[in-house]
Amino acid sequence: MYTIAEMPEPLDAERHKRLLECETATIGHFRSSGFVDPEIRCQLDEVRIAGVAVTLSLPPGDGTLLNHAMRLLRAGDVLVIDRQGDRRHACWGGVLTDVGKRIGLGGVIIDGTATDRATLREYAFPVWSRGVSAMTTKLANQGGTMNVPISVGGVVVRPGDVVVADENGVVVLPPDDVDAVIDHTLALQEQEERILERLAAGECLPDISGATRLVAAALADTP
């Protein structure tokens, strides 16, 4: 049985531009939720994407709904795929990469495997997955869901959530949190630049960060 809900609102251009300046590791300095299992890794070395999540849940071994979804996806969307525990059958490969590139798809996050890694790199198409597999899905017509909440890498992903992903990982943000996350992330990245300048001038990192002060205070309180 298939369930296909309405497509979420796309990410506006200004937020998209600002999110592309945000490193996932910087977001990780102040947030603890929304981070996808780090075993789901990018198949490219250096990349960053941001966009709204379009969600799919596919039965093991079946890629029928994914093929159908390619006529519904839009430029900038981030396709997030729950493989329902299937790590053997790769659902994304060279042909879908070509189609995704033509659409302008922002990227693909798979809680499972992909294939045709050489093609992914040739097209510089951003795919995060639990590795690659030579065994692929078939058009088994077993059903699935589109734009329904799913679980990917230990994170609940709802259609319309905002995904930021780079070579360090994937973070999923509720839409209402996006502006605050952008502001705090960019402020921290500016602060890091100032720290690097101070290090270049000869200062010591634990003095700048306050780590030495904390350790000294703890030692002073030790009987």
Convert the pLDDT of each residue in 7-18 to its tens digit.
999 999 999 999
Mean pLDDT score, 92-99: 98
Buried b / exposed e across 125-150, counting CB within 10 Å, b at 16+? bbbbbbbbbeebbeeeebebbbbeeb
Mean pLDDT score, 207-217: 94
Question: 204: which strand partners?
Answer: none
Confidence of residue 194 (pLDDT cuts 50, 70, 90): very high
What single DSSP character describes residue 119?
H
What pTM was computed for the model?
0.95
